[in-house]
Structure 1
Amino acid sequence: MAQSLSSTVVLWVLAALFIFPVLWLVLSSLKPGGELFRYPLTILPDTWTFDGYARAWERVDFALYFRNTAVVATVTTVLTVLVSAATGYALAKYRARWLSVLFMCILATTMLPTEVILSPTFVVIRDLGLYDQLAGIIIPSILTATGVFMFRQFFRTVPDELIEAARIDGARELSIFFRIMLPLAKPIAITLAIFSFQWRWNDYIWPLLVLGDPDKFTLQVALRSLIGAENIDWTVLLPASVISILPLLALFLVTQRYILSSDLNSGLKD
């Protein structure tokens, strides 16, 4: 009983540590400029105001930037799930020595800091003529080592006899993958899709390097334009940042039952 109570207390403390910065952001966005840096700092505003939200909505074309970001996040997520599932299936069920080498090379990319591969990736995108194009953001982000690993570990738990039976019945490889294997991996696909969408929605460094046309900016890059060379209009930047996370909040509310009910161990072998 005491151990259970202590574990609960620790979890509540960790939850509070994660929630506090978000709560501070939301409450600060409701403060007038004079209260943001007043000492001593206060959590709750003395004067509640939504003026910053009105100004942020006027200064930032959220309709345009939401659309650009949604296109990038949605297309990348769909392709990431399909490519990662197909790669994981091939690595788990096909027998070839070079596939093991390929899998190790894919896992090795997780050991490289993002900054190391930014320059060569940018050169490739530029030479392909994808600079200042949304496709230039999407293509390098499709294959992720995390997604490949998740699907490979899951497909290794699926009996080979199921695939052999489908082949005996005359099913082609694509039919086996799309009609049998991919539906079985639905929990993994949903989990990866949620994480992928979140990664792409919050991506900042790569879109900043690739995009130059303000009409093609994603949301995070557009918010960067609110930061001036000498000062920052916090009364606009804070409300704009809160608005930018609303779609992710909506996504979580819609998909939380999948997140909370997914068997995260389903793709791991004992």
Structure 2
Amino acid sequence: MDTAVQPAPVPTRTGATPAPRRGRRTEPVRRILGYAALGVAAAAVLLPFYWMVVSSLKTNNEVFTIPVTWLPDSFVWHNYVDIWRKSDMTTWLRNTLVLSAAVTVLQVVTGSFAAYGFAKVRFPGRNVLFLAYVATIAVPWQSYMIPQFVLMSKLGLPDTLWSIIALQAFGAFGVFLMKQYYESIPDELIDAARIDGMSEYGIYRRIMLPLSVPALASLTLLTLVTTWNDYLGPLLYLRTHSLWTVQIGLKSFISQYNAEYALIMTGSVLSVLPIAIIFLLGQRYFVEGVATTGLKG
């Protein structure tokens, strides 16, 4: 029987035969190494949170033991009962929730509406005004918080929740984020709506908002997390104990019960838990909004 003759490798100019390609062989190895690196990074980020949760279920003597005990000998579940009995956690969480919800709604509404004007409405000085407004992001709040406090004092707003709401009702970052997303929506769609007689308010409400759900979700999550974790603003404006947020409350709780470390960790877990749940529920929209922001349609 005749056997097929295999062609000989073509020698190169130097006389050596070319080596086989190793791209396909090394691709699984690179993928495994990439997943391993991501796993190590995720473990490093989650390790402090794990230690905080575990410490909330320990006794005071077990929290700062050396070497570290990653699992307690017995889970002390009554810490989550004692925290409500020994502190005003209900009041702190309620105030924080009211502030976070009010500021988030106002920033989403004002930011998305202003971004529509900068992205789809043409008027003289639009670009200069937008650059000047966005440039305020680079100015730290600590540099003008004293004049701001003086202004709030003259308006009679200190020691009220309205002071925090009024200060954070507008945000340049939200305008920038929404403008970048609005620019990915075709202008032909807006022009067609104008030809049909739809007003600018109708275009914003019926066209822009339904098409920008991922960006709105991203802005909502970012604003909610920032407001919930804010410490310096409530510390500066809120003096009455009944108006304290959870961040100020935990600080006072640490000063009052400086030896009960397990109870302090329990309060920290309760302050982080609502934000973690909200982020897990909306992470798909958050990732989609960040990934699509700035893409031209």
TM-score, with structure 1 as normaliser: 0.92
Give the aligned partner of residue 201 of structure 1.
Answer: 228
Q: How big is the shift at 1:12?
A: 0.9
Q: Secondary structure at the match of 2:253?
A: coil
* Partner Cα distance (2:248, 2:41) in 1: 30
Give the aligned partner of residue 9 of structure 2.
Answer: none
Trace 1:243-258 onto structure 2 (pairs within 5 A).
243-258=270-285
Structure 1: where are the runs of 5+ without partners? none
Pairing 1:267–2:293 present: yes
* Partner Cα distance (1:229, 1:219) in 2: 15
- Relative to structure 1, the CA distance from residue 258 to residue 158 in structure 2 (aligned partners, 3 Å threshold; closer, same or farther) is closer
* Partner Cα distance (2:108, 2:236) in 1: 25
* Partner Cα distance (1:267, 1:47) in 2: 48
Trace 1:1-270 onto structure 2 (pairs within 5 A).
1-228=28-255, 231-260=258-287, 262-269=288-295
User: Cα deviation per residue 1:208-235 (whole Å; 9 max; x = unaligned)?
Assistant: 1010111111111111111227945312
* Partner Cα distance (1:233, 1:109) in 2: 42
Q: How big is the shift at 1:151?
A: 0.9
Deviates more, 1:241-250 or 1:78-87: 241-250
* Partner Cα distance (2:71, 2:265) in 1: 15
* Partner Cα distance (1:106, 1:2) in 2: 48
* Partner Cα distance (1:149, 1:214) in 2: 36
Q: How big is the shift at 1:154?
A: 1.2
TM-score, with structure 2 as normaliser: 0.84
> Is the contact made by 2:60 and 2:259 (CA closer than 8 Å) also made in structure 1?
no
* Partner Cα distance (1:263, 1:87) in 2: 18
* Partner Cα distance (1:217, 1:229) in 2: 15
> Is the contact made by 2:107 and 2:170 (CA closer than 8 Å) also made in structure 1?
yes
Aligned-residue sequence identity (percent) comes to 37
Of Structure 1 and Structure 2, the greater helix share is in: 1
- Relative to structure 1, the CA distance from residue 231 to residue 263 in structure 2 (aligned partners, 3 Å threshold; closer, same or farther) is closer
Which one-letter code corresponds to 1:200 in the other structure? T
* Partner Cα distance (2:106, 2:160) in 1: 17
User: Cα deviation per residue 1:89-108 (whole Å; 9 max; x = unaligned)?
Assistant: 11112223422222212222
Q: Secondary structure at the match of 1:226?
A: helix
> Is the contact made by 1:57 and 1:240 (CA closer than 8 Å) also made in structure 2?
no
| RMSD between aligned residues | 1.9
